[in-house]
Structure 1
């Protein structure tokens, strides 16, 4: 398998389409669609921040994602939009979650952090009802933003689907996305594999490969990328026998442009991928970002293994 080729092609696609992540005039509109404005920008930032941290400074990919981070920060007017967002929606958590992705990469706005800390001390903030997986994300966002977390990770983890070590046959799409984000949050997006408790790590080591195979067999590439990122985030990743075939399948699904579709594969009558942009942006940007993320984490783990003299093939 060539994980690096998948990563480079996906990064090139993201770079070529960076303007599609830009914030429009509706970014602060009362009736704006957050999933089409802040969500893509936040996901771009989160992935680039993580890739930057696990990629050597001399690597061209590192330079490219650093430029993308600068681009994303400019979209927020160097952080000035975050206080405005807070004034419009004081108890919404997504502004802090997006900001935390920037903060993890060293982009900070002290004024926003100070005002967010005031809101975070209120009962209204602490008692906001959230899914347990989202709660983990908010705790992580508070920590990255210099705000004392309003709860504990073990307590929030125990309330998630994955934290309960469910029967493996109860895995399905929603549970899959929930479990990947649980792992992302407890490992600081792959940067701290030791954040996965031992019992949970053993459970995932055993059941992640068949879940991954099931998703890729169903051509669920977006979730497949997230599961590959989980595999690279574990204290002891699954062996090559469990992952090589998965990366080959993902590489085959990736368009020559570098885009990875969320599901299925679009082909023309001749059986080839059509055009330079075969997918609508909303149908491939997240899966392509997750391909970058999974490939970068996997490459870093392979590099670490090589340096340790284990010689894990890649």
Structure 2
């Protein structure tokens, strides 16, 4: 494959959006999104991540960009799936102390798509001690604080203190990096930069630490075939105060492009036993099912858009104002929503 340039990075993003558009029906909500034993990981999580990625891409690219139009179309689809916000009211009644409805809703609120009734109900719950004292890991706490602000719930900002309680904020020994800490650090950067819109939100010492170690961590993930986390790390690289050096990350983009299917789908990981044709080393093998490639495909689209914006030198003042992540929602009420949360 030829060396990756800006045009080739755009092709990765365009192909990812082509796949997302073709598979929009797989993001649709079914009645299982409201059942007592429903799996949020396969209902609200994919829809929330679709909305967050599309909202982010819209904010990073000019309205004249075809990718902006595609992202806007998918964001409208996601909003319609929520009954234009009405389904959040239903979730509020079912699980008043769960945070994932507010996290998903806040993505739409950042795009100017709001439901006053839900916001009023969520604000009432947020005033309770039960809500404020829910125990959360620091990375998740950053996401909830961001969701509250986006949704009009205001309280003293504790983000700076919470940041220092995260793995990344503590500037740990670089050799302690692993999958879980990798996903945690990407979400910390997503939250403090408002999904790449405000690179200055990364403290100077954290930015310097990432600039030094991120290339090595990215190479480790690429060598392991961890395409999903690799794309998230590429987003981080393009979200730091200093724009990314294309020469530093050119090889990473080449490997992501090679792993991407012609359809635009990007597998979450390389298969344990790679079934590629040895005579065609650029063949990514059989396309995985929706649940094993939708998030990594979202992150490929997001990483491409964020990288294109930073390499062009554009700022968010040049694009449309507004607000792809890795999440896990397990259990009900307080425990139903685990992991790093809907990107938001």
Which TM-score tier does this pair reach, normalised by the shorter chain? over 0.9
Query: What SS does the corresponding residue of 1:288 show, helix, strand or coil?
Result: helix
**Length-normalised TM-score, structure 2:** 0.86
Match of 1:300 among 305, 309, 332: 309
The correspondence for 1:204, drawn from 178, 191, 210, is: 210
Pairwise CA distance, 1:87: 0.8
Q: Which consecutive unaligned segments of at least 5 residues does structure 1 have?
A: 307-314
Map 1:2-21 → 2, pairs under 5 A? 2-21=8-27
Q: Which has the higher contact order (CA 8 A, sep 6+)?
A: 2
Label 1:131 to 1:237 Cα distance change in 2 as closer, same or farther (>3 A): same
- The alpha-carbon deviation at position 279 of structure 1 amounts to 1.2
In structure 2, the partner of 1:127 is: 133
CA spacing shift, 1:248–1:23, aligned 2, 3 Å: same
Identify which of 28, 47, 69 aligns with 2:53: 47
1:6, 1:84 → 2: CA distance?
38
Q: After TM superposition, which residue ranges in structure 1, 4 or more long, deviate above 6 angstroms? A: none
Distance in structure 2 (CA, Å) of the matches to 1:213 and 1:63: 33
- The CA distance in 1 between the partners of 2:256 and 2:63, in whole Å, is 27
- Give distance in 2, aligned partners of 1:149 and 1:262: 37
- Separation (CA, whole Å) in 1 of partners of 2:285 and 2:245: 35
Alpha-carbon offset, residue 305 of structure 1 = 6.4
Structure 1 residue 238: Cα displacement: 3.9
| Alignment match, 1:217 | 223
1:47 touches 1:290 (CA, 8 Å); kept in 2? Answer: yes
| Alignment partner of 2:238 out of 203, 217, 232 | 232
1:25-77 CA-to-partner distances (Å, cap 9, x unmatched) read 11111111000100000000000000001111111111111110110011100
Q: How does 1:7-156 map to 2 (within 5 A)?
A: 7-149=13-155, 151-156=157-162
Q: 1:40 to 1:203 in 2, by over 3 A?
A: same
CA RMSD in angstroms comes to: 1.5
CA contact (8 A) 1:216 1:246 kept: yes
Indicate the structure with greater helix content.
1
Say how many residue pairs are matched. Answer: 304
Q: TM-score, normalised by structure 1?
A: 0.94
Q: How far apart in 2 are the matches of 1:62 and 1:74?
A: 18
Structure 1: distance between partners of 2:91 and 2:311: 41
Q: How far is the alpha carbon of 1:126 from its aligned partner?
A: 0.5
Q: Show structure 2 runs of 5+ residues with no match.
A: 316-344
Deviation of 1:104 (Å):
1.1
Aligned residue for 2:333?
none
CA contact (8 A) 1:209 1:238 kept: no
Shift of residue 273, structure 1, vs aligned partner:
4.6
